[in-house]
Amino acid sequence: MAAKPESYENIVQTASRLFFHQGYHATGLNQILAESGSPKGSLYYYFPRGKEELALECIRRGNEFIKQKLKETLAENDDPVRAIQEFIRNTAEEADRVSFNGFMPIGFWTAAETSCISESLRHACVNTFTDWQHLYMERLQADGWMEEKARSLAVLIISMLEGALILAVTQQSSEPIYNVVDYIPQLIK
């Protein structure tokens, strides 16, 4: 795959930041173009089918980014409990670092928002959650957990983190995220 031009990168990165922060519908193409400094023609040159195609690429990118982070963190630690705690703690630190105001490489509540609008966006979000689930499952199974138990733990961890992110963004405090960290040992044992 050839390297994409700079304007392509600018558009995708700006769009990702805005979509994942404000939501899909709250983000207009004009805002994306204004903040990325790109003209409208470029967007429709790279994404002929418009906003939805751009959002699909943002979801795909966001998913790859998180998968990479999650994979690394889960591999770095011998103890799966500590590994998972580490990932969630990193998420909280990132949220604080950007003051809940930048690209939060985490929240796919875009998922819920777009799921009743577009089937293709919904499907992309389902794939994202499934990918994360498999990473948690692999790590837990490698530590001796049975497949079905690993699956339900993985789903629970993702639920807790996504829900805590909602609370965190709403309350403008990372406390709910750290609260999840505290309960991981009690769940995975």
Site for a copy of itself in 71-130 (CB under 8 A): 100-101, 107-109, 111-113, 115-117, 122, 125-126, 129
Residues 176, 167: contact at Cβ < 8 Å?
yes
3-state secondary structure 104-145: CCCCCCHHHHHHCCCHHHHHHHHHHHHHHHHHHHHHHHHCCC
The residue type of 151 is R
Up-side HSE of residue 165: CA atoms within 13 Å toward CB?
25
Closer by beta carbon to a copy of itself, 64 or else 119: 119
Is residue 109 within the footprint of DNA (CB under 7 A)?
Answer: no
Is residue 186 within the footprint of a copy of itself (CB under 8 A)?
Answer: yes
Closer by beta carbon to DNA, 60 or else 134: 60
Distance in angstroms (rounded) separating the CA atoms of residues 127 and 123: 6
Q: Which parts of this chain interact with DNA (CB under 7 A)? A: 5, 7, 27-31, 38-42, 44-45, 48-52
Q: Which parts of this chain interact with a copy of itself (CB under 8 A)? A: 21-26, 100-101, 107-109, 111-113, 115-117, 122, 125-126, 129, 152, 155-156, 158-167, 169-172, 175-176, 179-180, 182-183, 186-187
